[in-house]
Structure 1
Amino acid sequence: MVLLLLTGAAILRISLFSELYLRYVQAGLRPYLVVSGALLVLLAVAAAVVGRPEEEPHAEQGQHTEHDEHAGRDQQREHDEHDECGDDSNAYDQHGGHHSPRVAWLLTLPALALLLFPPPALGSYSAEREAAQRAAQGVGHFPALPAGNPVELTLAEFSSRAIYDSGRSLAGRTVRLTGFVTRDDDGTWYVTRLLVACCAADATTSKVEVRGGEAPPVDSWVTVTGTWRPRGALGTDAAWPPVVDAGVVRRVGEPADPYETR
């Protein structure tokens, strides 16, 4: 009952009363989380009501028989023996019911942690573990970019155009990219974003190498305004990761939805 209540309350906290759920799943899954959390809370309440012990009948007038007194002492002795052995799974309370194993309470810790200390969104560690998935296919002509500079692009769109666009639509354009900072051991740094199809479990990495401008701390969020620097042949490993020459690097706060959608 307590586990159901804690889990339901944690789900409602991150999905109904805040936008923390965006660290784990896409926005479209919010209604399902809210319904799931509410159902778990209702189940906990129902379990509490159904499991409430009935009022014990009043004792009959008169004296207990000697047989009843002996039976009561035997039952108490058996109960004490179980307690001494520490057998939680087979122990009985004075009404003959099972005690819950103490180890079961450990299951409440993950739900309590989610309720009180929601984990952060995936960051540079996850990005560095993700091997880049690139292929020499998909090269073709992309639609024209919107008029005006700078043009706001996701990292995935910038990378696709930089690596596969035979029309070179990025040439001569000023772009604005937002993501968190990752860095190689040699000091090269990137503006990075994680892409999800459903939830954080299927995240993949999109990153753009930044040249010019001092590197902010790892995992800090930045907006980079600059121009594309071509490298390598289209559709090859040499074209990855794409490069942007930074004109302005500005620190920003982490967005409510830290992921891009694949």
Structure 2
Amino acid sequence: MKRNIQVLLLLFLGVGLLHICLLTDLYLRYVRAGLRPVLIASGVLLIALGAVSAARDGFPFDRPRPNGAHSHGHHHGHHHGHGHAGGPKVAWLLYVPALTILFLAPPALGSYTASRGDAEAPKAPASAPGDTLFPALPSGEVVEMSLNDFSSRAVWDTGGTLKGHTVRLTGFVTPGRHGTWYVSRLVISCCAADARVRKVRVHGATAPPADAWVAVTGTWHPTGKVGTDDASPALDATAVRRVPTPKDPYNDVARP
């Protein structure tokens, strides 16, 4: 039975990885897009290892034992409580993560993670902030911005390039305290385990349900002294529109 578990676990994990990488985009819930080739190679390797193990052991995997070996195993099991299985029955639980990836992929991280982690403050520019570091925004239209770009300008842009402009930010809803809420994104360097929080507080609009993806249109809401750590990104909303969940939820790039 132990060999059955090992071989089938390898096969299920391999098929699960190939399923989320080749047939769907579900892998983007867990890792960066650039890691797709590594996941495909890992899936192929796991299937190959499972196939080699199955071929080596034959079918069924548990070959009939000689009478002497069976008797010895029975005697040993009688004294040690393992029985005929050759391993603990709890080993079957190893199938759970493999089958979960294959049939019920967990969702991407969302408001639960964002609400329990402090938003990573935008880093101060290497030199004095100004128009050279923050180019002027287009006038007379709604400017699509990433949360990272908006947050950097809101905190460090003493030149005030956000003033007088209507911007649109896209992210998921994160509830705050006392009825406040944020439009948020989680950004990763490698995988979901290293996710960093980006969020902008929204004023003047009722919060949609938590984790709903929205496009928030509005104007900059100055908070704190710009150019210092006291400033924080915030927006006075004029419109909030529900949007579909993006294919790559961790990619904080402004839509064209």
**Shared fold (TM-score, shorter chain, > 0.5):** yes
Q: 2:37 aligns with which of 31, 34, 54?
A: 31
Confirm whether residue 254 of structure 1 aligns to residue 250 of structure 2: no
Q: Letter of the aligned partner of 1:203 in structure 2?
A: A
Aligned equivalents of 1:128 and 1:76: distance in 2?
57
What is the match of residue 104 of structure 2?
A: 117
Residue 205 of structure 1 pairs with residue 197 of structure 2? yes
Alignment of 1:59-78 (within 5 A): 77-78=71-72
- For the Cα contact (< 8 Å) 1:194–1:204, is it kept in 2? yes
- 2:178 aligned with 1:172: no
Specify every segment of 5 or more residues in structure 1 that has no aligned partner in the other structure, as ranges. Answer: 55-71, 93-97
The answer to whether the aligner puts 1:14 opposite 2:3 as a matched pair is no
| Residue of structure 1 in register with 2:3 after alignment | none
Are 1:5 and 2:11 an aligned pair?
yes
Q: Report how far residue 121 of structure 1 moved.
A: 0.6
What is the aligned-residue identity percentage? 50
Q: Distance in 2 between matches of 1:109 and 1:233?
A: 51
Give the conservation status (yes or no) of the 8 Å contact 1:136–1:236: no
Tell me if the contact between 2:153 and 2:161 (Cα under 8 Å) persists in the aligned partners: yes
**Aligned with residue 186 of structure 1, among 175, 178, 185:** 178
Corresponding position of 2:234: 243
Letter in 1 for 2:27: Y
CA contact (8 A) 1:136 1:235 kept: no
Q: CA deviation at 1:147?
A: 5.3
- Paired residue secondary structure (1:186): helix
Superposition deviation, residue 103 in structure 1: 3.2
Two-structure CA RMSD over aligned residues (Å): 2.5
Separation of aligned partners in 1, 2:169 and 2:237: 10
**CA distance in structure 2 between the partners assigned to 1:157 and 1:136 by the alignment:** 11
Please give the alpha-carbon distance, in whole angstroms, between the structure 2 residues aligned to 1:185 and 1:233: 23
- Indicate whether 1:233 and 2:225 are aligned: yes
Contact 1:177 1:223 (C-alpha < 8 Å) held by counterparts: yes
Amino acid aligned to 1:117:
L
| 2:39 is equivalent to residue 48 of structure 1 | no
Gap change, CA 1:147 and 1:32, over 3 Å in 2: farther
Does the Cα contact within 8 Å between 2:111 and 2:173 map onto a contact in 1? yes
User: Do structure 1's residue 140 and structure 2's residue 136 form an aligned pair?
Assistant: no
Q: CA deviation at 1:104?
A: 2.8
C-alpha separation between the residues in 2 aligned to 1:237 and 1:183?
A: 23
Aligned match of 1:61:
none
Q: Does 1:81 align with 2:70?
A: no
TM superposition score normalised by structure 1 = 0.82
Report whether the alignment pairs 1:103 with 2:90. Answer: yes
Q: Tell me if the contact between 1:135 and 1:235 (Cα under 8 Å) persists in the aligned partners.
A: no
3-state SS of 2:179 partner: coil
Structure 1 residues 247 and 39: alpha-carbon distance in aligned structure 2, compared to 1, 3 A threshold: same
1:12–1:38 contact (8 Å) kept in structure 2: yes
* Number of equivalent positions: 237
What is the CA deviation profile of residues 28-71 of structure 1, one whole-angstrom value per residue up to 9, with x for unaligned ones?
A: 111111111111112111111112169xxxxxxxxxxxxxxxxx
Question: Any idea what the Cα deviations from partners look like across 1:104-151, whole Å, max 9, x if unmatched?
Answer: 332222111221211111111111121234378326121223455211
The residue type paired with residue 49 of structure 1 is A
User: CA shift at 1:24, angstroms?
Assistant: 0.8
